[in-house]
Amino acid sequence: MKKSILFTAGLFLSVATQAQTQTQILDILKATVKNKTGVDLTKTKTQTSTSTTTTYPNTNSTANSNINLGSLTSTQISSGLKEALNLGVKEGVQKLGVTDGFLKNEAVKILMPEKLRKIDATLRTFGLGSLADQGVKLLNRAAEDAVTEATPIFANAITSMTITDAKNILLGSNNAATNYLQGKTQTQLFTAFQPKVQASLSKVGADTVWKNIISKYNTFTGQAVTTDLNEYVTTETINGVFKMVAEKETGIRNNAAMRTTSILQKVFGAVKK
């Protein structure tokens, strides 16, 4: 029994001695390398790990490295976004609501409805290209006339808009606020705007011209084509305004010179692109 105990104790002592010896040897090796290279191996692993973290940052926090929203309240952010949208609507409507505002702006020009483009080709085949051109021109004239009524509709939508995720919108894409507004108001705007477009189609004579166009096409082809021009022009007019709003928002986000008020400077100046 005593021999067994002594044997076990000796075994533990031997292992401990070997471990201590290995540790001492490792310390000597590290000290030797450090003396020759100037690099402390005991810190190399930690430094490499820190360097790796810096080189490959978490993509979820990358955007936060370029912002300083600490001094902004949610109310200020909301106000800044709404002001940018209001400016976009106001300036967009001013540019679109004049003669050739739609027709000469390739970004928003209303073309022949896709399902009626065969009408355009057929009319030109029969030497009636000028009638087709007049039809397209009057669609744009109707939009130019109707869009002047859009400002209060858009303004009301912006004013009544609740931005609970204002910071996410501010830190989003160049058109984040415009996209948010469009998603929240598209249906409401269409319902409110459609009667105004219908009145404008009648005012500029587009409805009469298009009845003539479609009648001639049906006569030539023996078909009975119909279309809802009001729905088409309403949608295209609203989309045209949103394109102008998006253009303004992008400018405010990326060009400090376009931040013409203190709230725009404060809010969008906090986000460095």
| Mean pLDDT for all residues in the chain | 77
Beta bridge partners of 67: 271
Q: How many CB atoms lie within 10 A of CB 226?
A: 8
Q: Is residue 242 part of a domain?
A: yes
Mean pLDDT of 195-211: 93
CA–CA separation, 154 and 273 (whole Å): 28
Distance CA 225, CA 71 (A): 60
The pLDDT value recorded for residue 14 is 41
Closest Cα partner for 237 from 90, 88, 119, 93? Answer: 93
Length of the chain: 273
Evaluate whether residue 16 is within a structural domain. Answer: no
Q: Does a structural domain hold residue 52? A: no
> Number of folded domains in the chain?
1
**Quick check: 229 pLDDT over 60?**
yes
Between residues 165 and 4, the one the model is more confident about: 165
Please, is 145 exposed, middle or buried when counting C-beta atoms within 10 Å of its C-beta (0-12, 13-18, 19+)?
buried
pLDDT, one tens digit per residue, over 118-133 is: 888 888 888 888 988 9
pLDDT greater than 80 at residue 87: yes
pLDDT at 16: 40
Whether 244 is covered by a domain: the verdict is yes
Whether 60 has a pLDDT exceeding 80, the answer reads no
Given a cut of 90, whether residue 164 has pLDDT beyond it is no
Range of the domain at 114: 73-268
DSSP code of residue 97: S
| pLDDT at residue 71, rounded to an integer | 78
Contacts of 153 (CB under 8 A, 6+ apart): 189, 192, 193
Question: What value does the mean pLDDT take over residues 89-114?
Answer: 94
* Position 8 in a domain: no
pLDDT surpasses 90 at 183: no
Question: Span 77-94, mean pLDDT?
Answer: 93
**What is the token pair recorded at 189?**
């705007």
| pLDDT tens string 32-44 | 434 433 434 333 3
d(CA 158, CA 76): 15
Domain membership flag for residue 235? yes
Rg (CA), the chain: 35
Euclidean distance between CA atoms 128 and 59, whole angstroms? 58
Residue 148 in any domain: the answer is: yes
Instruction: Specify if 38 maps to a domain.
Output: no
Cα 177 off chain centre by: 7
